[in-house]
Every structure is written in C-alpha cells, then in structure tokens.
Amino acid sequence: MSSTVNTGHTDLRAFWRDLPREGKWLLSTTAIQLLGRGLTLPFTIIYLHEIKGVSLDLAGTLMAWIAVIGVVATGPGGWATDRFGARVVSVFGSACNMAGLFVLAFAHTVPFFFLAMSLIGISGITWPAFNSLIAAIVSGPARQTYFGISFALVNLGIGVGGLISGAFIDVHRPSTFTTIYVLDALAMLIPIGLLLGPLRHVRTQVEPTQQAAGARTSYLSIVRTPAMKWLLLLTFLGSFVGYGQIEAGFSAYSREIGEVSTRVIGWAFAVNTVVIVVAQMLVLRRIAGHRRTRVLLVMAVVWACAWTLLGSSGLLPASAYAVFAVIAFHFVFGFGETLLQPTIPAITNDLAPDHLRGRFNAISSGAFQAGAVAGPVAAGFLLRHHWNLQYIVVLLVGCAAMAWSALALERRISLQVNGIVPPIKDPGVVGDGAVHSV
C-alpha cells in the first residue's frame, strides 16, 4: 500500500506538500474528470424528451432507473472492493460508465436507453470504491480535508462543463448532444489511465486482524452496529432532504410556486457552484479540530434556513423577492454542502476497519442512493397534489431529524472517529466495539 499522510493541516500548501504522490494524481485530475459529467448533467431530460422523442414520464423513469441500479450494485461492489481491491472495481465501473454513455449517445429505441442507463447505474460502484482508494492513500484528519477539496473540485468541473455545453448545444442540431455524450464517455479514460498507470501499486484489500478474523463480516452485521445505524440514517436524510430534491423538488417548486424563469433557476445553480468552490477551503479551516457531528448539526440548521427561504418565494410569486429567494436558497444550501461533504465520508472511513472499508463505503453509498430515489418521489407526490406548505414542512422536519441523528451518532462514536484527535492506524472497531457477530 502506498504511504499515507496523517496531518491536521488545513493550509492548502501544507496539505499538498504532505499529500502522497498518488493523492496528488487523484486530486489534480478531479475537475478534468468531472468536466465531462458537467457537459451532460443538466441536459439528459431534454436530450431524451426533445431530441430522442421519449415522453417525460418515461424519461423520468429512465433517470430513476440509474439510481435503482446503483442501489442494487452497491452490495456486490463493496464486497468486490474488499476482495479484489478498489482499483479493479473502479476500472470496471468507469468502463461501464463509458460504455453506457456511448450507447446513450447513439441509441434510438427504449431498450437501448434502458441498457445505457443500466450501465451508467452500475458505474455507481466507483463512488464507494474511490472513497476506499482515497482512505488507503490519506489517513487521519487529512481525510476530511481531502474529501472537502475533492468536493469543491467536483463542483468546479461540473460547473465549467455545464457552462460549456450550455453555450454549445442546440436542440435544432441533435449532433451537438451526441458530441457532449461522446466527450463525457471519453473523459472516463482519465480515471482508467490513472488506475492502470500511476495508481497501479495502490492496494486497498488487506487481511483482517486476528481479533476481527473470527467475527461475521456480512452487511447485516455491519448495519446492526449502533454507530452505523445512525450514520446511515443521517446519510439517507442528507440525500432525501438535500440532493434528492435539487433536480426535482427545487426546480418544480421554483417554477410552479415561486413562478420564476428557467434562467433564474440556472443562475441559482451557478451561485451554488461558486459558493462551494470559493467557500470550501475556508470552511475546512474553521471545522478542523471540531466534532464532526457538531458540524453536521450546524449543517442541518443551515439547510433548514435554505428551505425556509425557498418556501417564502411562494408568498410573492413572480416577483423580485421570489427571484431573490430562489437564488439565495442555493447560496445557503451550497454553504451547507461544504459542511456535509467533508464529514460523512471521513466518519465512514474512520469507522471502517481496513479489511471492510469497501463494504462500509458501499452501505453508505446505498443509503445515499436510496435517499436520492425517495426524495424526488416524495416531492412529486406532494407538489402534484398542491401540498406546497406540507412539502416545505416535510423538508424542515427532515432537517430536524438530521440534527437529532447527528447528536445520537455523537454518543456512539469515539472522539477519534469524530475528528477530535488523530486516530490510531486501524482501530478495527465500529462505535462501541468490533463488528459484531450475529
């Protein structure tokens, strides 16, 4: 396994200096990798409906199918990560994503669209695998810094990609859509090249310690540990209240209730990207040395303020205030994201024994994907029935539940896992003890 860094520095130059070569390769290419994703992310529904003639209902089903396949794939993906290594699983997932995007670029029939979405869904196993890879390279408090900086770079790549494709594509020229999906597919050559080249020596699979060797290592035994139960609930709620609403509930509420233009919604997403890119390093400096669960508590309050702002846009629809409220929502929401993204992955990987890291990240990914599926469904049901106030109330209750879950999690994890002091190399424990036999 490559060398690791165990530093609490949040100064960017110090962090970069202490980062192992493999970590520098990964981090320096993150924005470029996600540039391709940014080219296509805002326009898939438009591509399917207006270019390929797929009905909106079916297009929505195809988009949801990606998340469904992603949930199903996380279990085998986590096991494979622990058994064969994160590098092998990441190469396989990236290749599936490339194949799916190529199929989507040239498909004309529904079966081929489902094939494309299935392949893209399978590629979701790269998320837990990459988190395991990062945890093998970077240890201690520096993990929190790495996850935060990586998240900012992801948003930078997606944001720039969206700006480029927005200026390039034209619904009257279908070939422009084909081009961006081909470019997104070719962008997968970057992670594949890294994993087969500079990162080929990174090893994530390890033998369990003598104490852990006799314990059950099933997913059920991991989920049953007290700390993991609360962490998964927190992850699910974060996805349900947050990311599961952004492409569905936020846009629908802004258009139907706030009555703002699509251009305003575009500005709001741009503000979100700018906030994350600009604020992430500042946030990392401020949260260093603080309990991660308290950071998540603050994040829940911040998101509650964001949803209250969006809800208020319905008080004066189609007004200057509605425009302000919609844009301000993404400003505040983006700040909350900078608190969430460095903390939950760091807690997950500090909880996980090295030999189970793939499964821990897979379970976390599954909880996130489940929230991403449930969020749009709940939003569609509530807003379709014109339960606008109830929609905002549900999200505020979700934020309160996140705060409660964070405090419950705090009582079940060690100070080391909570980011107070540097963790020992491999505690092999989950919350109050080892992965329990069942």
Q: CA torsion sign, 246 to 251 to 257 to 258?
A: positive
Q: Dmax over Cα atoms in the chain, in whole Å?
A: 66
DSSP code, position 139: E
> pLDDT tens, 402-431?
999 999 999 999 998 998 865 455 444 444
pTM (2 d.p.): 0.79
Is there a contact between 35 and 189 (Cβ–Cβ < 8 Å)?
no
The amino acid sitting at 341 is Q
- pLDDT of 6 over the 70 cut: no
Element (H, E) at 190: helix 189-196
Where does the pLDDT of residue 206 fall: very low under 50, low under 70, confident under 90, or very high at 90 and above? low
Q: How high is the pLDDT of residue 421?
A: 64
> pLDDT tens, 24-79?
888 888 888 888 888 887 678 778 888 898 887 788 788 878 888 988 888 898 88
Is there a contact between 389 and 395 (Cβ–Cβ < 8 Å)?
no
Q: Which two tokens stand for residue 90?
A: 């990441």
> pLDDT tens, 305-340?
999 999 999 999 999 999 999 999 999 999 999 999
Is there a contact between 119 and 94 (Cβ–Cβ < 8 Å)?
no
Q: Which of 413, 369, 346 is nearest to 151 (CA)?
A: 346
Q: How high is the pLDDT of residue 432?
A: 40
Q: How high is the pLDDT of residue 428?
A: 40
Q: Which domains are assigned to the chain? A: 19-204 (1.20.1250.20), 219-431 (1.20.1250.20)
Is there a contact between 2 and 202 (Cβ–Cβ < 8 Å)?
yes
Q: How high is the pLDDT of residue 216?
A: 57
Q: How high is the pLDDT of residue 324?
A: 96
Percent pLDDT > 90 in the chain is 39
Q: From start to end of 102-211, where are the E strands? A: 138-139
